[in-house]
Amino acid sequence: MTRHEFLTEANIIPAPAGLRPGDFVEIKSPAEVLQTLDPDGALERLPFMPEMVEFCGRRFQVSKRVVKTCYYGTSSGMRTFLAEDVVLLEGLRCSGSAHDGCQKACNIFWREAWLRKVDGPQVIQSNPDPEDIRRLRGRLKTTTGSKTYFCQASEILNATRELSHWERFEKCVSDVRAGNCGAAEMAKRVAIWLFWKIRKKALGVYGRGDRTSTPVESLNLRSGEWIEIKPLTNISETLDKKAYNRGLYFTPAMGQLCGEQFRVERRPEKIIVDGTGEMRQLRNTVFLEGSFCGCACVAFGGCPRGEFAYWREIWLRRTQAASAEQKQSEVA
């Protein structure tokens, strides 16, 4: 069956128009979701992943309408989904359980065809038919090869197209109209982007160092430990001329957090790369609670994706309280 034939056979359930932040939705049943999917388990090239099945029949609140998105890889840029019917739901991130334990913890994209608008949060949780769950899971693809995976991150370039410079301005207006932010907040985001753009041209890359080979340090940090982010002068000593440490970029938004204290969220050891499906190993890197990409510095008008910021341990140090607790744990 060709893609055109599939789409013309009325397999796509009509989507509710215009979901906005704050709306409550119910994720449709496995049987209803299955009717929307192509042979790869995707709708308009965006996969419905096995990690999403457990949410079927439950209600959640819309956090943002996705009018544009970033991606990360060998290059980056602003893109929009081929069918502009995608939202994020409050608190729903991918567990990676069906993708060899990927620890990227991406915010999950939801097409409106997989949702129905409801009046509010449910009181009683529905129980989907186990046979419908089995059929849905049987349709969902998770790999494209022995070393590559199939998920929303791997397919983000196929499910989106790049925005022109003029379209980036239009999408800022769309963000405000969709209720993702107010006009003042959007003006602030554009101003932040403009400031860092001008600063880079005038003074060079923020935080850059002069290393040709960047150093490594292992603190063996664990979830729940408190750390302090080192001063920028110390961090710059670990970076190359483009402000990278072994492939990880130290962003201006991260630089604004120098000297602050955070708890370690988790220690990611493997993540699926945007656009390729490759599983990449990470070492000596952590996520910090409440520390996200802050992409307004590098993405015009910001992005709703909310990726965790990647922190090399060499940029951090334990607080005195955390160090004492670590020593007590080692003695015990």
Between CA 66 and CA 305 the distance in angstroms is 8
Instruction: Kindly state whether residues 140 and 205 are assigned to the same domain.
Output: no
Instruction: Kindly state whether residues 141 and 69 are assigned to the same domain.
Output: yes
> Does residue 275 surpass a pLDDT of 70?
yes
Quick one: the chain helix, strand, coil %, rounded to 5?
A: 30, 25, 50
Structural domain that includes position 220: 181-332
- Reported as half-sphere exposure (CB side, CA atoms, 13 A), residue 325 has a value of 11
The answer to whether position 102 is within a domain reads yes
How high is the pLDDT of residue 37?
98
Average pLDDT over residues 191-218: 94
How do residues 9-64 score in pLDDT, each as one tens digit? 333 334 345 899 999 999 999 999 999 999 999 999 999 999 999 999 999 999 99
> Does residue 96 surpass a pLDDT of 50?
yes
The answer to whether position 100 is within a domain reads yes
Q: Last residue of a domain, which of 132, 162, 192?
A: 162
Contact of 12 with 113, CB cutoff 8 Å: yes
Instruction: Kindly state whether residues 118 and 193 are assigned to the same domain.
Output: no
How high is the pLDDT of residue 78?
86
Instruction: Kindly state whether residues 149 and 229 are assigned to the same domain.
Output: no
Number of domains in the chain: 2
Between CA 176 and CA 180 the distance in angstroms is 6
The answer to whether position 323 is within a domain reads yes
Instruction: Kindly state whether residues 242 and 283 are assigned to the same domain.
Output: yes
How high is the pLDDT of residue 320?
74
pLDDT band at 322 (very low <50, low <70, confident <90, very high): low
How do residues 277-300 score in pLDDT, each as one tens digit? 999 999 999 999 999 987 788 788
pLDDT band at 329 (very low <50, low <70, confident <90, very high): low
Q: Which two tokens stand for residue 12?
A: 């796509």
